[in-house]
Amino acid sequence: MITVFDYFTLTMVAIVAVATITSSNLFVASMWSGIYSLLMACNFFILDAADVALTEAAVGAGVSTVLYMGALSLTDDKEQVSRGRKILPLLAVVALGLILMIVTIEHPRVGDINAPIHQHVAPWYIEKTPEYINIPNLVTAILASFRGFDTMGEVLVIFTAGIGVISVLSFKPKRAASVSGSELGKQIRGLHHHAVLRVVGKLLIPIILLFGLLVQFHGKYSPGGGFSAGALFAAAIMLYGILEGADRSAHAMPQAVMLKLAALGCTIYTGVGFVCMLLGHHFLDYNALWPSNPKLGQYYGILMVEFGVGLTVTAVLIMIFNAIANRATY
């Protein structure tokens, strides 16, 4: 039964992907790509990856669609359809596809427990997590503790990307703006004239924030963690910006504060690592935090690290949204 759902959503994903790239109106294409992400999230859930599904639904269907819309309002919404056929790219892609298709015949089938990936280090993680870390969600345990180095790198990459967006958009063209950013915000004032959307949307914001808090702090026992929670918080603020105008969301969440919060998140993460070092253990070895009861040390270490992750992701995504949505049109 599960596999039937799997095949169904996968087929839908493939169809929607084609629809995404063939629609010449870019607004339509970005809506299609939101639907694509939602279907992809359903499929991840069917494949037993609940944490990934939660993140993909919040990031792919929520945040990325909003960012595409914001960017499109500053550029052109129509794609110029070129006349000539592109034979060479098609040939290259089809040739690569055929080669990879032949390779897949040798792949282990989906769900095969004897596949090499399930024989290597994964059994060790599953067996040792209760002994060393003792939190129910294996994904969080590996993310924050066993492979804490990787996650620290990812958080720093997100921080860097946020700084990149801010610095790219800090340049202003020499000619005067046709509409300034704050004026644009006042002009359209979100969805001011759509009473139903505004009322229902406003009701959703606290629920999304509450769910974000659950995902953030309950991520050790159920699917979730800093990454998905950060995306959820940012989605709630973006919803506020869409409903009430982006100038108000930038006023409520000023860019300078967001930048400091993003840096603070990274500092908390690396700071926990350094505290472990000062206590005489290795970097990010949370056992140091509670020497008499290492499992409790792991618990608090993961809690703080996930908090840092959530803070950075939230702040960076809000910063990016505010920077794009409050940009003046030139």
User: Which residues in the 253-312 window bind another protein by CB under 8 A?
Assistant: none
- Smallest distance from the beta carbon of 85 to another protein, in angstroms? 9
Q: Which is nearer to another protein, 30 or 216 (CB)?
A: 30
Residue 178 as a binder of another protein (CB under 8 A): the answer is no
Contacts of 22 (CB under 8 A, 6+ apart): none
Kindly tell me which of 136 and 291 has the beta carbon lying closer to another protein.
Answer: 136
CA 57, 240, 180, 29 torsion: positive or negative? positive
Contact call for residue 55 and another protein (CB under 8 A): yes
The footprint of another protein on residues 219-248 (CB under 8 A) is 221-223, 225, 227-228, 230-231
* Cβ nearer to another protein, comparing 277 with 296: 296
Q: Does 28 bind another protein (CB under 8 A)?
A: no
- The structure tokens listed for 137 are 């969600």
Please state, in angstroms and rounded to a whole number, the distance separating the CA atoms of residues 92 and 115. 31
Taking residues 96 to 135 in sequence order and writing x for each that binds another protein by CB under 8 A, - otherwise, the string is: xx--xx--xx-x-xxxxx-x-xx--xx--xx--xx-----
State the minimum distance, in angstroms, from the CB of residue 233 to another protein.
Answer: 13
Among 38, 132, 136, 252, binds another protein (CB under 8 A): 136
What's the closest the beta carbon of residue 313 comes to another protein, in angstroms?
Answer: 6
* Residue 112 CB partners (closer than 8 Å, separation 6+): none
Q: CB of residue 106 vs another protein: minimum separation in angstroms?
A: 10
By CB under 8 A, name the one of 38, 42, 43, 240 that touches another protein.
43
The least CB distance from residue 113 to another protein, in Å, is 5
Which residue reads 């993680």 in tokens?
125
Backbone angles phi, psi at 182, to 5 degrees: -70, -35
Q: Binding pattern to another protein, positions 148-167, x when CB under 8 A?
A: --xx--x--xx--xx-xx--
Number of amino acids touching another protein (CB under 8 A): 106
Comparison of 121 and 199: residue with beta carbon closer to another protein? 121
Length of the chain: 330
- Min dist CB 12 to another protein, Å, is 10
What contacts 178, CB < 8 A, 6 or more positions away? 328, 329, 330
Q: How far is Cα 270 from Cα 305, in angstroms, rounded to an integer? A: 8
Buried b (16+ CB within 10 A) or exposed e, 178-209: eeebeebbeeeebeeeeeeebeebeeeeeebb
Q: DSSP state, 97? A: H
Distance (Å, whole) CA 284 – CA 147? 10
